[in-house]
Chains A and B, each alone.
Chain A
Amino acid sequence: MRVWKFGDNIDTDAIIPGRFLTINDSKELAAHAFEGIRDEFSKEAKQGDIIVAGSNFGCGSSREHAPLALKGAGVQMVVAKSFARIFYRNSINVGLLPVICIQASEISEKDSLVPHTGEGYLEVSGKKMPVEPVPDFLQRIIDAGGLVAYAKTIRSEDLCIK
């Protein structure tokens, strides 16, 4: 497991540039993740890697190709000080876990990181770092593995408030 560290305001154009948006397969998208921004990522990222970033991760375009590209690259979760709203929703919907951690900037690429997000913390080189709890409704989508799987469990009477 490798930690990939990024700064503030990483936009979805940086995660996957606009010229690759005719691709809809996560593995193929992964081959262009962070192209021109951090070229070694697509070559070296492996299953289980974790992205750690600053504030406003995933700002900009609503392209779901962004979390899909990261998922395709093997990224298991993105830990950030804060997320842009659409990316946060998209990540949960496609089954990539976004974790809000106020102290994210204290994590380095040399740290070993063991997620215990269910218990509300990350283990960073042996040290506990608290993460923000997720609202119940979103937790149910996360537990289902994404919105497609969640949709299959939803009761028709829950769909709209009449």
Chain B
Amino acid sequence: MAGTITEKIFSARCGQEVTAGEVVMAPISGAMIHDITGPLAIEKFYEMGGEKVFDPAKVIMLFDHQVPADSLNAAEIQKNMRLFAKEQGIHNYDIREGVCHQVTLEKGRVCPGDIVIGSDSHTCMYGAVGAFATGVGSTDMGFALRYGCLYFRVPESIRADVTGKFQKRVGAKDLILNIIKDITVDGATYKAVEFTGDTMGSMNMAGRMTCCNMAIEMGGKAGIVPPDQVTTEYLSGRCTCRDEVLVSDPDAVYTSWRTFDVSDLVPQVAVPHNVDQVVDVTDIAGTPVDQVFIGSCTNGRFEDLQEAAEVLGDKKFSDSVRVLVIPASKDEYLKALRAGIIEQFVKAGALVEAPCCGPCMGGSFGLIASGEVSFSTSNRNFKGRQGSAEGKVYLGSAATAAATAVQGEITDPREVR
């Protein structure tokens, strides 16, 4: 029977043919927990009578939301989690590596065809390598740690077919914001969003991660890109995966099939306070900002930093803006260091922080005050997301963020010389 890649992954892992709409108890290929939602998951694991996690080799732990520990509470939480990892024999990347989703992929912990869960909503990013990956809460995670499986409703899929060649300074972030504008904040609820087409095929892994990362911002249960040569090259040297190729059948059933041509797409910006409130940058150019954040699991990779550095050139960031640059992981940080980009940012006036989530979720440092405006390459512009509920968050690409940081107001990166 014809199936989508998502249906075929569930069928393969469950060992029987399943279709969208069915509720299945599926085995977990990998599980990721971090410092925010991990403590509750561990508590639930014990409440369910757990003693040993189902398979320590399949569990990933790291701390990224409040690192290094920024409060006594955070310090205690991290201490307890370290102890759990040690007792259970779980590999704990601790505070050393960076943002959970970037690290999980970088360390080769996800293969195409896997079913992976993380106690974080942006876990859907792992769909970039052709896995089914979804965010869960702490109780679900506790259950999975205990039993090695979890109940899922096999999702229907929306297909987003992308064609055309991006203009200069326009890329994956602009595309995904444009897709979210079209599908809306809840248009993909309970569904997997499958990104296909020539543009996705020629997109690098960094861009695919950006797209899959934000599937949740349209309510998506997962985002997924069919694995291809780009995937194989990315995974090479990171992990050894099964010898199977799961992709959608030509006659697979989708609830909706959307087409996007990026040829004329201009830089996109999500304006406060919903991620589908997306406009062309030209519509809001000139809006003054107080802080610019370049980083996060969405856009903190080397490719993003490089694009921002190209826009910056030998200019300085505006004195009226606080610029925070946070690479998504140690590896990305090192790549940027070697390329001289970090020095370029520091000289231009940015504060470069060690890999972590930074101001993205407003739970640690870099918060904005009432009446302040943040321009951020992260994934959410909800009211209060980066600090005061009286503040405003705009979302866009690293190129637009860099242009904005140079001018002190929202700026079209194509206009910066």
Contact with A along B48-60 (1 / 0, CB 8 A): 1100000000000
Contact with B along A45-64 (1 / 0, CB 8 A): 00000000001100111111
- The distance in angstroms between the C-alpha atoms of A161 and B367, with both chains bound, is 46
- The distance in angstroms between the C-alpha atoms of A18 and B361, with both chains bound, is 6
Minimum distance in angstroms from A46 CB to a CB of chain B: 24
Minimum distance in angstroms from A149 CB to a CB of chain B: 9
Whether the Cβ atoms of B186 and A84 lie closer than 8 Å is yes
- The distance in angstroms between the C-alpha atoms of A63 and B14, with both chains bound, is 28
Q: Count of chain B residues with Cβ under 8 Å from any Cβ of A?
A: 61
Within 8 A of B (CB), among A1-43: 9, 11, 13-14, 17-19, 21-24, 35-37
Select the stretch in B69-77, B174-182, B228-236 that faces chain A: B69-77
| B-chain residues with CB within 8 Å of residue A85 when the two chains form the complex | 189-190, 219, 221
Whether the Cβ atoms of A161 and B14 lie closer than 8 Å is yes
Q: Count of chain A residues with Cβ under 8 Å from any Cβ of B?
A: 43
Minimum distance in angstroms from B46 CB to a CB of chain A: 10
| A-chain residues with CB within 8 Å of residue B47 when the two chains form the complex | 148
Whether the Cβ atoms of B49 and A62 lie closer than 8 Å is no
| B-chain residues with CB within 8 Å of residue A22 when the two chains form the complex | 66, 71, 73-74, 77
Whether the Cβ atoms of B384 and A160 lie closer than 8 Å is no
Whether the Cβ atoms of A60 and B121 lie closer than 8 Å is yes
Question: How many residue pairs between the two chains, A and B, have CB atoms under 8 Å in the bound complex?
Answer: 147
| B27 interface residue per 8 A CB criterion | yes
Listed residue (A11, A18, A137) with the most chain B CB atoms within 10 angstroms of its CB: A18
Known: A22-B73, A147-B140. A9 touches B25 (CB 8 A): no
Whether the Cβ atoms of B384 and A62 lie closer than 8 Å is no
**Chain A interface helix/strand/loop/mixed:** loop
Within 8 A of A (CB), among B369-391: 380, 382-385, 388-390
- The distance in angstroms between the C-alpha atoms of A129 and B39, with both chains bound, is 39
* Chain B interfacial positions (CB closer than 8 Å to A): 14-16, 23-27, 36-37, 39-40, 43-44, 47-49, 65-66, 71, 73-74, 77, 119-121, 123, 135-140, 142-143, 146-149, 151, 153, 185-186, 189-190, 216, 219, 221, 274, 361-363, 367, 380, 382-385, 388-390
Would you mind naming 25 contact pairs between A and B with Cβ atoms under 8 Å apart? A9-B186, A14-B383, A17-B362, A17-B363, A19-B362, A19-B363, A22-B74, A24-B43, A35-B389, A61-B121, A61-B361, A61-B380, A62-B136, A85-B190, A89-B136, A90-B138, A93-B139, A94-B139, A135-B153, A158-B25, A159-B149, A160-B25, A160-B147, A161-B14, A161-B16
